[in-house]
């Protein structure tokens, strides 16, 4: 049973993973590149919970116990007491390998090491961990406290007992599991990113306007957001990179990026983060760019 969880990387995902684990009554060790960043993340979680208490959405006692369960750390020696170590650091393979090597030196003999990566193969990262049988992918969705789903991705060497322990952990934090093989994009992003890419093809071929593509998917498929407005949220550069990874790792031309997606990225129109993507965000309401 997982009682103590360590989270390495206290950004938006790591903070969310730490929060839901602490909320479920587990002791959580939260680390980043410095103790200051870990403390800052802990404070941010506490502030977020305080707001939810004010709005009556979270019980005050639960908020207090959640914050009390969170402990910042900077030295990997602290990881010796963890049953599960989840890496949620920046999506760069070299950074992650270095974390697994360093943290692995302190991993307890029963403990599991996991990565929240969105795109890096689990089997490839497992070689930097002390025991690939106890290495696994645990892919959360953003924002973690709200999203119900967790994808679990065993690598080639991951043992059945590791999968079962992670199943228990995910159940304990109140989430649902889907099990994915270690393939590019796992299940959800493998379906979803080409779907957005296809919307860019549909736009590029002049089949429909930006507004009609988004309206069509919202009303015709009952999606809460259209694919092009969602693309602007995610970042067109990120989507383009993911398509390139799918194409390179499968060699299948069905994953070729839409030329119009490429063109928007070349123009620096990356979505909301640059103020313009498929929509222009400079005014009060988003205006389609085509
Ligand atoms: N953002 C999403 O929607 C999403 C969804 C699922 C999975 N992920 C994955 O989660 C991971 C983190 O993404 P994020 O969106 O939270 O990024 P983020 O930039 O918000 O956070 C990354 C954190 O990692 C820290 N970090 C970098 N190097 C470190 C090191 N050596 N040791 C400890 N901490 C280190 C950074 O300081 C930063 O605080 C990535 O692998 C990403 O692919 C992201």
- CB of 149 sitting under 6 A from ligand 1: no
Residue 72: its pLDDT value, please? 98
pLDDT bucket at 238, cuts 50 / 70 / 90: confident
| Rounded-to-integer distance, Cα 243 and Cα 238, Å | 9
Tell whether 75 and 160 lie within a shared domain.
yes
Is 13 a known ligand-binding residue?
yes
Q: Is 168 within 8 Å of 159 (Cβ atoms)?
A: no
Q: Is residue 170 domain-shared with residue 231, that is, in the same domain? A: no
pLDDT band per the 50, 70, 90 thresholds, residue 157: very high
Domain that holds residue 127: 4-179
Residue 253 has pLDDT above 90, yes or no: yes
Where is the domain boundary, 125, 156, 179?
Answer: 179
76 tagged catalytic: no
* Domain shared by 34 and 149, yes or no: yes
112 and 212 in a common domain: no
Q: How many domains does the chain have?
A: 2
Is 10 marked as binding a ligand?
yes
pTM: 0.91
CA 92–ligand 1 middle distance (angstroms): 9
Q: What is the pLDDT of residue 190?
A: 95
The verdict on 98 and 119 lying in the same domain is yes
Whether the CB of 118 sits within 6 Å of ligand 1: yes
The average confidence (pLDDT) of the chain is: 97
Do 175 and 191 lie in one domain? The reply is: no
Of the residues 15, 21, 115, 139, which is catalytic?
Answer: 139
> For ligand 1, is residue 142 a contact (CB within 6 Å)?
yes
5 near 21, Cβ under 8 Å? yes
Residues 168 and 203 in one domain: no
> Same structural domain for residues 16 and 120?
yes
Q: Is the pLDDT at 210 greater than 90, yes or no?
A: yes
Domain stop point among 161, 179, 197:
179
pLDDT of 193 higher than 90: yes
Does 168 lie in the same domain as 90? yes
191: domain CATH number is: 1.10.1040.10
Choose the final residue of a domain: 128, 161, 179: 179
Catalytic annotation present for 282? no
CATH number of the domain that 121 lies in?
Answer: 3.40.50.720
- The yes-or-no answer on residue 151 being catalytic is yes
Q: Is the pLDDT of residue 11 over 90?
A: yes
**Under a CB-based contact definition with an 8 Å cutoff, are residues 219 and 208 in contact?**
no
One domain, residues 207 and 171: no
Is 175 found in the same domain as 196? no
pLDDT of 232 higher than 90 = yes
212 and 94 together in one domain: no
Tens digit of each residue's pLDDT (9 = 90 or more) over 38-77: 999 999 999 999 999 999 999 999 999 999 999 999 999 9
- State what percent of residues in the chain have pLDDT above 90: 94
Please, what is the end-to-end C-alpha distance for the chain in angstroms?
54
Percent of the chain that is helix, strand, coil (3-state, to 5): 50, 15, 35
Is 129's C-beta closer than 6 angstroms to any atom of ligand 1?
no
């Amino acid at each position: 049973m997982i009682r103590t969880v360590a989270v390495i990387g206290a950004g938006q995902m790591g903070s969310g993973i730490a929060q839901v684990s602490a909320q479920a009554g587990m002791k959580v060790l939260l680390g980043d590149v410095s103790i200051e960043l870990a403390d800052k993340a802990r404070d941010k979680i506490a502030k977020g919970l305080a707001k939810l208490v004010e709005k009556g959405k979270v019980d005050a006692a639960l908020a207090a116990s959640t914050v009390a369960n969170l402990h910042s750390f900077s030295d990997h020696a602290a990881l010796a007491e963890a049953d599960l170590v989840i890496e949620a650091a920046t999506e760069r393979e070299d950074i992650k390998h270095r974390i697994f090597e360093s943290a692995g030196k302190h991993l307890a003999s029963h403990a599991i090491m996991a990565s929240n990566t969105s795109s890096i193969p689990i089997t490839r990262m497992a070689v930097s961990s002390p025991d690939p049988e106890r290495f696994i992918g645990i892919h959360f969705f953003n924002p973690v406290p709200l999203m119900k789903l967790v994808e679990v991705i065993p690598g080639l060497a991951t043992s059945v007992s590791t999968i079962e322990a992670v199943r228990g952990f995910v159940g304990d934090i109140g989430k649902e599991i889907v099990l994915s093989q270690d393939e590019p994009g796992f299940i959800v992003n493998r379906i979803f990113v080409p779907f957005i890419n296809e919307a860019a093809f549909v736009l590029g071929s002049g089949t429909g306007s930006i507004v009609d593509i988004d309206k069509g998917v919202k009303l015709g498929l009952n999606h809460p957001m259209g694919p092009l407005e969602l693309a602007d949220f995610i970042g067109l550069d990120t989507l383009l990179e993911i398509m390139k990874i799918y194409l390179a790792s499968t060699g299948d031309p069905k994953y070729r990026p839409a030329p119009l997606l490429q063109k928007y990225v070349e123009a620096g129109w990356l979505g909301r983060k640059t103020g313009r993507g498929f929509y222009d965000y400079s005014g009060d309401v988003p205006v389609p760019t085509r």
